[in-house]
Amino acid sequence: MQLYNTLTRKKEQFKPVKGKCAGLYTCGPTVYDYAHIGNLRTFIFEDILKRVLVFSGYDVRHIMNLTDVDDKTIKNSQEKKQSLKSFTARYAKFFKEDIKELNIIFPEKFAPATAYIDEMVAIIKKLIKKEFAYQKDGSVYFKIKKFKDYGKLSGLEKRELKTGATVDVDEYDKENPADFVLWKAWTEKDGSVFWKTELGKGRPGWHIECSAIASKLLGQPLDIHAGAVDLIFPHHENEIAQSEAATGKKFAKFWVHGEHLLVDGQKMSKSLKNFYTLRDLKEKGYLPLAFRYFCLQAHYRSKLNFTWEALAGAGNALKKIWAEARDLPRVSPPARGGGSKEYEEKFSKAIFDDLNTPEALAVLWEMLKSDCPSGAKAASLLKFDKVLGLDIKKYLGKKIKPPKEVLQLAKQREEARKKKDWKEADKLRLEIEKLGYSVEDTPKGPKILEK
């Protein structure tokens, strides 16, 4: 299995630290609002990564943090006049509902940042003792000038460091990186959100939570740390610095990052009114799994442009796969054998080559159109879907039973087509669609599909 490692900027063969056990840490959401579809693309890519690891025979231990204390969560909870705990719990619940609908397998553990304050404090104390961190006005900052490898993940090595300059906000985008905050002294802006620790009254900065949670639950070095490209700097860069400075050990062997989702060729933004959540997609009548299929059509390291037309196309393609599955025999979930060796080898070659899902989907379609025996197709489809997560098993061998009204309209439409009365045929097609079905014209005749 080959994965592109952001740290080395090349594809490498994946091999875990310990035998067949693969530790996977993924950066979860900041639970202050609904996850947008750009976030969800990242979580789908991470799910594919996890599924491919399992498909490869690894025992995967997956941990995902939930950022439930930071600048955004505090500000938004105060605006809603809710406690931080109840406010973030609500959005954590919505997030879990979203990823469930997208067939994303839950991690072994969702780790809220607020449950690991003691672990964060312990790391910060180590950094102060080793003189990688210093206290200033009640806050604690990481001294990046002292960490010689700072910038190795993001390629910032040659940029000038701002000696003595500090950054208090959790998120920032600086050409010249500055010392970042590990522990923030309490101010009135934080209201009732604070912890009284040996570091003083305050709260953790954003970056320290992942170091504390990952090392506590998975150990160091991690096998794989994954996230979106916009986390490379400063978040992941800072994670490496504070973790490796505290322990003297490598933080993670592999860093795997997913590219941005654009909307109509632009960056997603509320001001541009192109900011969508899964709820927005569902309100327009699209299935959550249509969005999953849409994401699988592009390699995770390529930018992906979202349009409503492209989503509709993905939904139609997914329904065609389900329709093909209905025409195949029901088979038990296969272990070894039973499928098409030729296509299974092609599929494995694609997904083991840095999670090449577009190529994997091409193999799936090639197999469906082939003269491969139907039983072998069904068995291989089930294997493929262990990686793709498209609910194929649910439709396998399950024949559609349209109501008589739909069957009659389809018959009338076919008669109109034979007479080349395209206007009437189109009118009948629209009537069928109003009843929740569609008609696909195939060489073997019309096929009725569920919308």
Torsion angle in degrees (nearest 10) through CA of 143, 148, 150, 155: 150
pLDDT digits (tens, 9 = 90+) for 382-435: 999 999 999 999 999 888 888 999 999 999 999 999 999 999 999 999 999 889
Both structure tokens of 344: 């299974």
DSSP class of residue 1 equals -
- Judge whether 98 and 36 are in contact, CB under 8 Å: no
Torsion angle in degrees (nearest 10) through CA of 153, 157, 162, 164: 70
- Judge whether 69 and 106 are in contact, CB under 8 Å: no
pLDDT: is 444 or 201 the higher one? 201
- Judge whether 178 and 165 are in contact, CB under 8 Å: yes
Instruction: Indicate the SS3 state at residue 137.
Output: coil
Give the separation between CA 53 and CA 374, rounded to whole angstroms: 28
What residues pair up with 109 in beta bridges, in sequence order? 63
**Complete DSSP assignment for 150-180:** TTTTTT-TTSPP-TT-EE-SSS---SS--EE
- Judge whether 258 and 42 are in contact, CB under 8 Å: yes
Both structure tokens of 388: 């793709």
Mean pLDDT across the stretch 218-243?
97
- Judge whether 157 and 151 are in contact, CB under 8 Å: yes
Give the separation between CA 248 and CA 354, rounded to whole angstroms: 30
pLDDT digits (tens, 9 = 90+) for 274-328: 889 999 999 999 999 999 999 999 999 999 999 999 999 999 999 999 999 999 9
Provide CB contacts within 8 A for 433, sequence distance 6+.
Answer: 451
Q: What's the pLDDT score for residue 268? A: 84
Both structure tokens of 249: 């050990």
Q: Does residue 336 have a pLDDT over 60? A: no
Q: What's the pLDDT score for residue 162? A: 72
Q: What's the pLDDT score for residue 234? A: 92
Q: What's the pLDDT score for residue 400? A: 81
Give the separation between CA 9 and CA 345, rounded to whole angstroms: 27
Question: What is the model's pTM?
Answer: 0.91
Q: Does residue 450 have a pLDDT over 90? A: no
Q: Buried b / exposed e across 338-372, counting CB within 10 Å, b at 16+?
A: bbbeebbebbbebbbebbbbebbbebbeebbeeeb
Give the separation between CA 219 and CA 154, rounded to whole angstroms: 23
Q: Does residue 335 have a pLDDT over 60? A: no
- Judge whether 29 and 277 are in contact, CB under 8 Å: no
- Judge whether 228 and 295 are in contact, CB under 8 Å: no
Q: What's the pLDDT score for residue 422? A: 93
Q: Does residue 333 have a pLDDT over 70? A: no
Both structure tokens of 241: 């610095």
Lowest mean pLDDT among 28-42, 204-218, 261-275, 354-368: 261-275
Give the separation between CA 189 and CA 306, rounded to whole angstroms: 38
